[in-house]
Amino acid sequence: MKLEKEKLDRREKKKNKQSSKDSELNGKHKPSSKMKQSDSRSGVSSAGKYEAGDGDTREDVKVDPDERNDGQQESGSPEINIKEKTRSKSSKERHNHKEKSESTRDSNQEGPRCESEAAVKMKMKKKRVKDDKSPEKHSDKNQPSERKRKKSSSEQKNKQIKKDGDQKKKEDGDDKWKWWEEGKSSDTQKWSSLEHKGPYFPPEYEPLPDNICFYYDGQPVKLNPATEEIATFYAKMLDHEYTGKEVFQNNFFSDWKEEMTEEEQKLIKTLSKCDFSQIHKYFVEKSEERKNMTKEEKQVLKEEASRLMEEYGYCLLDRHREKIGNFKLEPPGLFRGRGEHPKMGKLKKRIQPEDVTINCSQDSKIPEPPAGHRWKRVQHDNTVTWLASWLENIHGRPKYIMLNPSSKLKLALRAGNEKDEESADTVGCCSLRVEHITLHRRLDGQEHVVEFDFLGKDSIRYYNKVPVEKQVFKNLKLFIKHKDPEDDLFDRITTVKLNKTLNESMSGLTAKVFRTFNASTTLQDQLNKLTTEDMTVEEKILSYNRANRAVAILCNHQRAAPKTFEKSMQLLQEKIQKKKEQIEEARKELKEAKKAHRDAPSDKSKKLLEKKEKAVQRLSEQLKKLQLQETDREENKVIALGTSKLNYLDPRISVAWCKKHQVPIEKIYNKTQRDKFAWAIDMTDENFQF
DNA sequence: CCTTCCACTTAGGAAAAAGGGC
DNA sequence: GCCCTTTTTCCTAAGTGGAAGG
C-alpha cells in the first residue's frame, strides 16, 4: 500500500504543477490534491497531460506527443489534429502499422494520412519486428531488424498445418481446442494465424419519438439527433446520485455544449434550465416494458444475442475457434469513473471504424469495415494478442478487443509441461533462480506479491503467489534488476551490496518459500483428510471449502467481512429456525398419521403415513443442508476463497478430488472458472497428485 | 537512472439470471 | 407466477510489468 502511495504522491505533485496551467485555461476543473484515493489513482494515468482537456477549450489542449487522439481525425476536432500530426510519428511506430504494403493490398488505406518518410525510416529502426513473421510476406520494403525470439517447433508445426487445414477450420473449431495438449509456444509470438470479423458496432442512435421532448427554460426544444443523443445519456442517469454532483454536471455540460449546433449553443446556456424529466420518464417506461416482456419475446432477444455471438463472438486463432472476450465496442455514454473522479460526466464518444485498428494475420480474411467506412488501419502483429484497438477519448488510453479467459492466450497457469522440460531441471528453495519468481507491486488486492513458478521436488511444478513484507519485496526487486533469468537468486545476493536487513529479509523469504510450498500441498492433504466416502455431496463440499480455507488461512488471505454478512447470516438462521419448526410440525402430523393408521388401517391412511414420513425426511435433509451452509458461511466470514481458488491453487488438485469423490465439478467451480480451468478439467484424472 | 507507453490483468459495480419461498 | 435474495455474468475502469524513451 505504501509503495503505491508514494508513487501516487509523486505523480500527484506533478499533476498539481500541471494544474496551474489548467486553471488558466478553464479555471474550474483543477484537480484537487486532496482527492480521495480512488480519485487520485484514476487521475494517475492521465497525470497532467490530459487534464487540460477537461474544459471546453479544446484548442489549448496540451496533446501528448503520442497523438492519443489519433483516430478522431475524421470524426471531428480538427484543431487537435493539426498539432498532433506533427507529432504523430512515434505513436505510429508503436502501433506498428505497416502502411505501404497494406494500403495497396487491402482496401483499408491510410488515405490522407500517409506517413512521412521520416516515419518510415524510424520504423525501419524499430526493434520490434511485427509483420515479418509470415513467410508469405515479401511486399514489405522495410527490413526490420531481427528481434530476439525463440521459435519453438510447435509454432512451425502450426504454420504447416494451417496451410493445408484452412478448409476444415469450422469443424475443428466446434470441439473445444485442447491447446494444452500441444507444446509450449514461444513467449513473443502469440499466434501464427488470426482471423476475425472485427468488432461489433453498437446500434446507431434512435431519435426520440416526437411526443417526447427536451425542455429548456420551460419551452420544448427539438434537439438535433447528435445533441439529443447526449441528452439521453444524461436523462437516463437522472436518478443516480452522481448526476447531482457538480463535477459531473460541469463536465457533462461542457462536453455536451461542444457537440451542439451553433444555434443550440446560443439557446442552451445553463444546465439548470435544462429539463430532461420527460426523456427520463420515457426511458424508465421503456425499461419497465422490457422487464415485463413475455417469455417468447425474451426468447427472441436471446436468440438475437446468440446470433450476434456466433457471428462476432469468435475468432480463428491458429485455426481454432476461440471465444472473444469483448467483441462489442463500448457504446457511447457519459464517463463514470470510480470514486470522486475528476472526469466524471464527460462524454465518452461513439467509436467510429476510423478510430479502430484491426490486428489479424496477413493472409486472413480482413474484416470488413461497416459500409461507407474504413478502418484506421490494419496491422498484422503477432507479438500481441489483441484483435482490435482504439483510443478512448476520456484519458486517451488505448483499449483493446481481446480473447476470453478460457482461451489459450489468457491462461495464467500453464498446463504442466513437465514432460517437455529438459531432464530434471528442478530446483529447491535454495536454488531458486531469478527466472522463477515474478514480483507484483499489487496483485489480487494484495501488496507486494512474489509469484513463484518453478519445478520443485520430483519435477512437480510449483506455482504460487505469495504476499511478502514490503521490505522483502523492495529488496527482491532491487536485487533482480540486473540479473539474467538464469542467475541464481540467492547466490547473487551476497555479491551485491548486501546489508544486514537484506539478509534478514532473505531468510524471512526462505522461510516463506517453505511455508508456501507447504500451503499448496495443504489443499491436497486437507482434502484427503477431510473427505470420506460416506459423506453426502453437501458434506463433501463443506470439506472442500474447509480445505480451501485451510490454505487461505495459511497464506493469510483475509478479507473484510462482507457488508451484508450479518444480515444474510441472520436470515439464514431464521430460515433454520423455521425449518426446525416445520419439522416439529411435520413430526406431529406424522405421529397423528401413525396413530390413525394403527387405529384404522387402510390404504388411504397408509399412504398418508408414507407421505408424512417423507415430508419429515425431506425437511430434515433441508435442515441439514442449511446448517451446513451456515457453518460454511460462518467459517468463511473473514476468509477470501476466490483468490486462492482462481489464482493460487493448481486446479488439477480440485479436479482430481471432484472426480475421485463424484462431486460434480460445478459445485466447486462456477462456469467462468470451469472455462478458465477447462484444461485441468480435461487432462486431470482422479489419481492426480500434486 | 527515471518516466512514459503499451499491452495485458484485475476488479468494482450494475444488470441479468437463478434460486427459493410464498 | 410473483417477489425477494443471492449468484453469475457483463462491462469497462483502473492497476501493473516490462520495454522504450529521455
In this prediction, residue A250 has a pLDDT band, given cuts at 50, 70 and 90, of: very high
Give residues with Cβ within 8 angstroms of A207, minimum separation 6: A225, A228
What's the pLDDT score for residue A581? 75
| pLDDT value at A84 more than 50 | no
Find out whether A147 and A129 touch, Cβ atoms under 8 Å.
yes
Question: Mean pLDDT over residues A628-650, rounded?
Answer: 68
CA of A336: nucleotide with nearest C1': C13
Give distance CA A575 / C1' C4 (Å).
14
Question: Mean pLDDT over residues A515-539, rounded?
Answer: 72
What's the pLDDT score for residue A370? 93
Angle between helices A246-259 and A225-236 (to 10 degrees): 170
Using DSSP's 3-state secondary structure scheme, residue A441 falls into strand
**A315 vs A400: CA distance, rounded Å:** 15
Annotation says A648 is catalytic: yes
| pLDDT value at A514 more than 60 | no
Place of cell 403415513: A609
Q: Are strands A274-275 and A314-317 parallel, antiparallel or unpaired?
A: unpaired
Question: Mean pLDDT over residues A190-217, rounded?
Answer: 93
Q: In terms of Cα–Cα distance, which of A549, A544, A568 is closest to A630?
A: A568
CA of A39: nucleotide with nearest C1': C14
Nucleotides of C under 7 A from a protein CB: 5-9, 11-22
**A76 vs A349: CA distance, rounded Å:** 11
Q: Which residues of A658-667 are buried (b: 16+ CB within 10 A; e: fewer)?
A: bbbbebebee
Which is catalytic among the residues A462, A463, A544, A648? Answer: A648
- The protein side of the strand B contact, defined by CB less than 7 Å from any of its atoms, consists of A 10-11, 14, 47-49, 64-66, 68, 90-91, 94-96, 190, 298, 302, 338, 381, 383-386, 389, 397-398, 400, 402, 409-410, 412, 443-445, 575, 578, 622, 643, 647
Helices (H) and strands (E) in chain A, counts: 23, 15
In this prediction, residue A202 has a pLDDT band, given cuts at 50, 70 and 90, of: very high
DSSP A429: G
Q: Which residues of A439-475 are buried (b: 16+ CB within 10 A; e: fewer)?
A: beeebbebbbbbbbbbbbeeebbbbbbbbbeeebbbb
**A400 vs A438: CA distance, rounded Å:** 25
Neighbours of A383 (CB within 10 A): 18
What's the pLDDT score for residue A549? 75
Q: In terms of Cα–Cα distance, which of A344, A340, A345, A251 is closest to A35?
A: A340
Find out whether A75 and A81 touch, Cβ atoms under 8 Å.
no
Find out whether A429 and A450 touch, Cβ atoms under 8 Å.
no
- Burial of A78: CB neighbours in 10 Å, binned 0-12, 13-18, 19+: exposed
Find out whether A608 and A631 touch, Cβ atoms under 8 Å.
no
DSSP A198: -
What's the pLDDT score for residue A242? 86
> pLDDT per residue over A131-157, tens digit each?
333 333 333 333 333 333 333 333 333
In this prediction, residue A517 has a pLDDT band, given cuts at 50, 70 and 90, of: low
| pLDDT value at A488 more than 60 | no
Q: pLDDT averaged over chain A?
A: 64
- Of the listed ranges A190-199, A247-256, A625-634, A635-644, the one predicted with least confidence: A635-644
Give distance CA A285 / C1' B19 (Å).
27
Give distance CA A290 / C1' B16 (Å).
12
- Of the listed ranges A407-416, A484-493, A569-578, A598-607, the one predicted with least confidence: A484-493
Region for residue A314 given its phi and psi (left: phi exceeds 0; alpha: psi -120 to 50; beta: otherwise): beta
C-alpha cell at A228: 439529443
- Of the listed ranges A211-220, A322-331, A357-366, A431-440, the one predicted with least confidence: A431-440
| pLDDT value at A464 more than 60 | no
CA of A444: nucleotide with nearest C1': B10
What's the pLDDT score for residue A465? 55
Place of cell 547473487: A492
> pLDDT per residue over A326-370, tens digit each?
999 999 999 998 888 899 999 999 999 999 999 999 999 999 999
Question: Mean pLDDT over residues A280-285, rounded?
Answer: 89
What residues does A338 pair with on adjacent strands? none
On the CB side of A251, how many CA atoms lie within 13 Å of its CA?
30
> pLDDT per residue over A612-622, tens digit each?
777 777 677 66
pTM of the model: 0.55
Backbone dihedral angles phi then psi of residue A471, each to the nearest 5 degrees: -60, -45
On the CB side of A609, how many CA atoms lie within 13 Å of its CA?
16
